[in-house]
Structure 1
Amino acid sequence: MCGTMKAIVKKESAYGAVLAEMPIPEINEHEVLIQVKATSICGTDVHIYNWDDWAKKRVKAPYIFGHEFTGEIVKVGQQVTRAKVGDFVSAETHIVCNQCYMCLTGQQHLCHETKILGVDIDGCFAEYVKVPEQNVWHHPVDMPEEIASIQEPLGNAVHTVLHTSVSGKSVAIFGCGPIGLMAIAVAKASGAIRVFAIDKNEYRLKLADKMGADHIIDVGKDDPVTFIKQHTRMEGADVICEMSGHPRAINQALEACANGGKINILSLPERPVTIDITNHIVFRGLTVQGITGRKMFETWHQVSELLKTNTIDVKPVVTHTLPFEDFEKGFELMRNGTCGKVVLMMPSHERGKK
């Protein structure tokens, strides 16, 4: 397929992005070309849009960013065998080498040679995107496109929460951005006896309540460490999921964790964070786990089953669906925190239209 397409492009090493005409990607024999129907804005995309310190060190402009999407396959390479034109799909966004030790021992999400769609290579903020066949994930045909487009970040929430058993335990989620909000539902569905939701954003704390959090903690009004300990026999939360990336919140998460507890960190702080390892981790026997991506493809199976069985409901997280061309409004909503998940819809997003 030749020609051009509309795409949101990080044109230069500066704040913002532009809508531009770009060449439609050419695929190799092991890749598929997908017509994007819906794409959602991630916190990582906001880092790139803002051009913060993390983005400056990681991203090389110009390129197309974005990595959360759903769409329809419109072309397949000659060696593709398990995907066909017309399939309704999303994609695992970590493109791995399949040759390193991590890949060969079933830990592809930790591949040394990982290239991330929309971060290291051209992404899905476009009418078309190409991915390796290995990365394709099929959806039920009746899944709403806005839900299909957020399965990748839902996978982050599932991976973060389920890395540690939460059944019968108290769980504190620091940061109620979209992934944190989804993590609330995952924790409740997985048997957590109480879930604390911590943030300073009133809009998102209201969403946390809708997602089933037992305790809502506004850090502008209450000290989360004191609050959590008061509701856990002064022990602290058994499991902490750190989703905020804020240095103060990370330190509060360490303090709020029970002795011998687990802290799973998904967030991406913009700068190095100072913590008291001796007193907050070593002497208290904490386990701190970094979470990256999703387990390939165990997490995708978990996500699919959670949705298919209606074990979790993530519809309240999707607060805005906007036309693709209104991406600047979407980024402004994300930057201000006056939204849950923002999904950009393509003009001809109905299934089957080319």
Structure 2
Amino acid sequence: MGTMMGLVKAERAPGAVLKEVPIPVCGPDEVLVRVKATSICGTDLHIYKWDAWAESTVLTPNVFGHEFAGIVEEVGRDVTNVKLGEHVSAEGHIVCGVCKACRTGNAHVCPNTRSFGITAPGCFAEYAVVKATNVIHNRADMPFEIGCLQDPLGNAVQTVLSGDIVGKSVAVIGVGPIGLMAVAVAKASGAGQVIAADVNPYRLQLAERMGADRTVNSASQPLSAALMEATGGEGVEVVLEMSGHPDAIRGGFEAAAPAGRVSLLGIPTREVSLDLSRHIIFKGLHIEGITGRRMYQTWYQLKGLLDQKRIDLRPLITHTFTLDRYEEAFALMASGQCGKVIFIHDPVPGTGLKEEAIDYGQLELA
């Protein structure tokens, strides 16, 4: 079918290479998408750097990337739910559909999952193939650079809405891009005070833009003490842990209010020791482990928030690049001096890209 340019994890070592690769073949139950915009996930940075997680998980050689928006270019012969020309994104977890988890409404934790852009070919390319059952339809007026953010937004939405939120004090610990989204989702969902905690001043300023009522720099003050002070000594009713840092996780549990909820999305790179008696058992905490998006409940929830403009993700987009500038883009991600970094695959007038979004590349925070 021809060739395309794709960003490939060619070797099991740091880095990546932009090279000519075959356009993927669309199977009978799949669709071929012309990719218009993609975004870099923290997972992609792990793959680019090639850490221990990547070594144990990622298949190579492979086009990576899993957050995208585009237009359907070809439809497999058995596909009935997708049409040519539709604007789409996709759920990245490719699940079996027949295991107990899948058949009981828990496909997001299917033990047979293949992951788009991690253990299956991804989207940092001109074209991508996805299962028709995984396709998410986007409104034609949704800018592609917003559409590609829905996958990580789903992480934030599942985390925030994994328990009661209305009127409750909320701490978002770790305001990388998903934590920043969680701030906005918590506010939109009727949370009480929303506190953002991080060690990165740039990201804390972004958290204020996304609606945080209070910020805590845990590099300059102990996290648990700051959260207790912010809640008048009561503790935080809803702790959303997005950093995966052992000290931050411990601080979140210490500051959680009795009978509170702690939802864990951040991935620690090593074992974390906790005082289970004092900070979990005798407090009667509710703990949620979060992975991916509930399929497909979370997608409908995030669509409701986005389509009705309950949340605005535009301030989150701080930099845009073309794919050939991937080295700059990944270096920026590694620095932490950014919000969400977007690849514009086809910056041609009339593609639906909004000029004000492309201008976000000039955004500077004081």
- TM-score norm. by structure 2 comes to 0.94
Query: What is the Cα-based RMSD across aligned positions, in Å?
Result: 1.4
- For residue 276 of structure 1, report the CA deviation from its aligned partner: 2.4
- For residue 283 of structure 1, report the CA deviation from its aligned partner: 2.3
- For residue 153 of structure 1, report the CA deviation from its aligned partner: 0.5
Unaligned runs of at least 5 residues, structure 1: none
Unaligned runs of at least 5 residues, structure 2: 353-366
Distance in 2 (CA, whole Å) between partners of 1:236 and 1:223 is 14
1:185 and 1:211 in contact (8 A); partners too: yes
Please name the residue that 2:249 is paired with. 250
Q: 3-state SS of the aligned residue for 1:343?
A: strand
Please name the residue that 1:133 is paired with. 132
1:11 and 1:17 in contact (8 A); partners too: yes
Which residue type is aligned with residue 194 of structure 2? V
- For residue 348 of structure 1, report the CA deviation from its aligned partner: 5.2
Which residue type is aligned with residue 126 of structure 1? A
Distance in 1 (CA, whole Å) between partners of 2:10 and 2:56 is 16
Indicate yes or no: 2:81 matched with 1:82. yes
Q: 3-state SS of the aligned residue for 2:259?
A: strand
Q: 3-state SS of the aligned residue for 1:16?
A: coil
Please name the residue that 1:351 is paired with. 351
Q: 3-state SS of the aligned residue for 1:168?
A: coil
Q: 3-state SS of the aligned residue for 1:217?
A: strand
1:324 and 1:347 in contact (8 A); partners too: no
Which residue type is aligned with residue 240 of structure 1? V
Indicate yes or no: 2:3 matched with 1:4. yes
- For residue 13 of structure 1, report the CA deviation from its aligned partner: 1.1
Distance in 2 (CA, whole Å) between partners of 1:84 and 1:114 is 26
Distance in 1 (CA, whole Å) between partners of 2:216 and 2:117 is 34
2:263 and 2:289 in contact (8 A); partners too: yes
Please name the residue that 1:27 is paired with. 26
Distance in 2 (CA, whole Å) between partners of 1:273 and 1:325 is 39
1:54 and 1:271 in contact (8 A); partners too: no
Distance in 2 (CA, whole Å) between partners of 1:22 and 1:246 is 38
Distance in 2 (CA, whole Å) between partners of 1:117 and 1:70 is 14
Q: Deviations over 1:48-80 (max 9, x none)?
A: 111112111111222111100000110110001
Which residue type is aligned with residue 276 of structure 1? D
Distance in 2 (CA, whole Å) between partners of 1:123 and 1:272 is 30
Distance in 2 (CA, whole Å) between partners of 1:82 and 1:220 is 50
Indicate yes or no: 2:283 matched with 1:284. yes
- For residue 82 of structure 1, report the CA deviation from its aligned partner: 1.3
Which residue type is aligned with residue 214 of structure 1? D
Please name the residue that 1:203 is paired with. 202
Q: Deviations over 1:182-241 (max 9, x none)?
A: 100110111111011000111110000101101100112222211111122312100111
Please name the residue that 1:16 is paired with. 15
Which residue type is aligned with residue 186 of structure 1? V
Which residue type is aligned with residue 248 of structure 1? D
Which residue type is aligned with residue 351 of structure 2? R
Q: Deviations over 1:78-133 (max 9, x none)?
A: 00111111110000111111101111112211212111101111111111110110
Q: 3-state SS of the aligned residue for 1:20?
A: strand
Which residue type is aligned with residue 215 of structure 2? I
Which residue type is aligned with residue 5 of structure 1? M
- For residue 164 of structure 1, report the CA deviation from its aligned partner: 1.0
2:265 and 2:289 in contact (8 A); partners too: yes
Q: Deviations over 1:146-184 (max 9, x none)?
A: 101101101110010001111010000000100000100
Matches within 5 A, 1:213-292: 213-292=212-291
Distance in 1 (CA, whole Å) between partners of 2:273 and 2:18 is 39
Please name the residue that 1:312 is paired with. 311
2:179 and 2:242 in contact (8 A); partners too: yes
Distance in 1 (CA, whole Å) between partners of 2:306 and 2:253 is 32
2:59 and 2:120 in contact (8 A); partners too: no
Tell me the matched-pair count. 352
Please name the residue that 1:168 is paired with. 167
- For residue 277 of structure 1, report the CA deviation from its aligned partner: 2.2
Q: 3-state SS of the aligned residue for 1:37?
A: strand
1:63 and 1:121 in contact (8 A); partners too: yes
1:184 and 1:211 in contact (8 A); partners too: yes
- Judged with a 3 Å threshold, the aligned counterparts in structure 2 of structure 1 residues 274 and 56 are, in CA distance, closer, same or farther, namely farther
1:72 and 1:351 in contact (8 A); partners too: no
Which residue type is aligned with residue 119 of structure 2? D
- Judged with a 3 Å threshold, the aligned counterparts in structure 2 of structure 1 residues 272 and 56 are, in CA distance, closer, same or farther, namely farther
- TM-score norm. by structure 1 comes to 0.97
> Which deviates the most, 333-342 or 254-263?
254-263
- For residue 9 of structure 1, report the CA deviation from its aligned partner: 0.8
Please name the residue that 1:45 is paired with. 44
Please name the residue that 2:356 is paired with. none
Distance in 2 (CA, whole Å) between partners of 1:348 and 1:79 is 32
Kindly, what percent of the aligned residue pairs are identical?
50
1:39 and 1:124 in contact (8 A); partners too: yes
